[in-house]
Amino acid sequence: MDGVIALYKERGMTSHDCISKLRKILHTKKVGHTGTLDPNVDGVLPICIGQATKISEILMQSGKIYRGAITLGVAYDSEDLDGNLIEQVPVTTPLANDQINAALAKLTGDIMQTPPMYSAVKVNGHKLYEYARKGITIEREPRPIHIDHFKQIKPSTYDATAKTQTIYFEVGCSKGTYVRTLAVDFGKQVGLPSVMSDLTRIKSGGFDISQTSTLAEVKAAVDDQNVQAVLHPLAEALADYPIYQLDDSRWGIVSHGGFLDQSICPEKAPVVRLDYQQQVKALYKFDETVGQYRPFRMFLA
C-alpha cells in the first residue's frame, strides 16, 4: 500500500491523533504526515503511506493556502482563541476596505516573522510552548518566510456590542509560516490588538480540500476493500515533476543506484521523475559538480 491520503483533519484532533488512528485503520506502521495542524484548525493534512513516506519532506516544502478570520479589538497570549485574553481595546470606528487591503498587502512577499511562544520551535532543547506554560518568555530570532498572497475573501463584519471587527482572509504562504502570528502582525499594522479567530487549511502538498477524505471515509473504504478510492498514487503526488520513461538498459542502471547523464532531461530540471513500466521508480536530482543526475528518492520495491 503506497500513496498519499489527503486527509480532512477535523477540529479537536492533533496531527498525531490522525496518524495513530490511520495506523490502526490501515494496519500498517508505515504512515507519516507532512507537517502538523493545530487542534483548533481543520483542513488538508496529506498523509504518506508505505513508499510514499519517502516524499513526506518534499510535500512539506510545498506552499500552503489557508482561509480564516482575524478579529480586531482583542488579543490572546496564544494568538488564537485557545489561550487567555490579554488585551482588549474597543474598535469604535471600523476599518474601511482600503485600510484593510493596504495592511494585508504590507504582509506579502519575503518577510521576517518571529515564531510565537506557543509553538513547537525548540530553544535550548525545550519547545517554546513549554516555556510559555510556565510563564517564561524567550527571546526568539525572526525567520524568513514568503507570503504569496494575503487578501480579503468577503466583507468584514462589525460587532457593535463587543466593539470588535472581523476580517475574512485567504493567505498563500511558505512552509514555516505561523498564520496566527500574521493575524497579530496585521493588528500591529492598524494599531489594534488582534487574534486569529478561525482557520482552515484548504491546500497543502499539492492537494486541495476538494480531494480530501475524512477518517470515517478512509475506514469505510478499507472495510469495503476499496482503499484505492481514498489513496492517491505516487504518480499523482509527483505529477508536477518532469517525467522520463526508462528503457530496460537505463532501468538496470537505476535499479542499482547508478547515475544518468543529462540527456534524460536536456533542460536540466533540478529533479526528474523516472518511470518504468507505468510505475514511478525514482526521483533523480541534477548534480552540477558531475553534470549528471543522481538518486534523490528511490521507490524500487
Please give the positions annotated as active site. Answer: 38
Amino acid at 37: L
C-alpha cell of residue 51: 513508499
What are 240-243's contacts with CB under 8 Å, separation 24+? 240/206, 241/269, 241/271, 241/272, 241/273, 241/283, 242/267, 242/269, 242/272, 242/273, 243/272, 243/273, 243/274, 243/275
- Distance, in Å, from the CA atom of 293 to the CA atom of 261, rounded to the nearest integer, reads 6
Beta-strand runs (E) in 108-209 = 109-113, 122-123, 126-127, 143-159, 164-173, 194-204, 207-208
Q: Would you mind telling me the total number of residues written for the chain in this entry? A: 301
Q: Dmax over Cα atoms in the chain, in whole Å?
A: 74
Would you give the end-to-end CA distance of the chain in angstroms? 11
Would strands 122-123 and 126-127 be described as parallel, antiparallel, or unpaired?
Answer: antiparallel
Find, among 230, 203, 201, 235, the residue nearest to 215 by Cα: 230
Contact between residue 178 and residue 116 where contact means Cβ atoms under 8 Å apart: yes
The pairing of beta strand 260-261 with beta strand 64-72: unpaired
Q: How far apart are CA 300 and CA 281, in angstroms?
A: 5
